Amino acid sequence: MAHCLRLRPPLPHHFKPVSIHHEKPTNVFKLSIRSCFVAPEKARRGWRKEFGVSELSEESVKSAAETGKAYLHSHLDVYGRPVLIVEARKHFPGEQGSHEDQKLCVFLIEKALTKLPAGKQEILVIIDLRGFQTQNADIKFTTFVFDAFYNYYPKRLSQVLFVDAPFIFKPVWQLIKPLLKSYASLVRFCSAEAVRDEYFTEDTVPANFRG
């Protein structure tokens, strides 16, 4: 019931659940909320169907993935967690369209979950802010990412590392922090050196974090 009470309206407006007959989407939303209080897992399954999670593939997210803005690291960290890496300087809102970016986000979360070792259930997210400029800021997409974890992948997000955040990121953080809800406590600001030394071995450190 605790998870059920935490579910909120799902993500940005263009991904709100809609009726299969495309009639009165608000009624579908109300139905989703009612079903949430009865069976959270059923509500999540409904969202997965509406979003088309099972239809996501390497090919369907190719255009966004080829930018290199986000990817699943080939190795686990020292705590046995799959690692999602976001290179913020490569993200330009609207370049691929928010729909494509959101599909890539969900696809990578799903892919990371398939890499979980036995007994593990959480993912590490690294947001590399080196080279970040104001044109890379995307409050809407950042909210989508955390809402996805909060609503549909509960207990899957272990920690979020904001790496080498420049001064111009400060006002962005002040805007997004309240939107992260309890997940704000999972955020750590650190250096690339800390990522390299504390989270990986020499053999598993991501190439762009090597000394």
Tell me: pLDDT of 41 over 90.
no
Read off the pLDDT of each residue in 56-71 and give the average, rounded to a whole number: 96
Q: Within the chain, which residue ranges are assigned CATH 3.40.525.10? A: 62-209
CATH fold of 62-209? Phosphatidylinositol Transfer Protein Sec14p (3.40.525)
Neighbouring-strand partners of residue 84: 72, 125
Q: How many CB atoms lie within 10 A of CB 68?
A: 13
Read off the pLDDT of each residue in 61-78 and give the average, rounded to a whole number: 97
Torsion on CA atoms 21, 22, 25, 27, rounded to nearest 10: -20
- Residue 5 confidence (pLDDT): 41
- Residue 2 confidence (pLDDT): 46
Instruction: Give the burial string for 16-33 (b: 16+ CB within 10 Å, else e).
Output: ebeeeeeeeeeebbeebe
| Spatial distance between the Cα atoms of 136 and 42, rounded to a whole number of angstroms | 36
Which range, of 52-61, 90-99, 134-143, averages the lowest pLDDT? 90-99
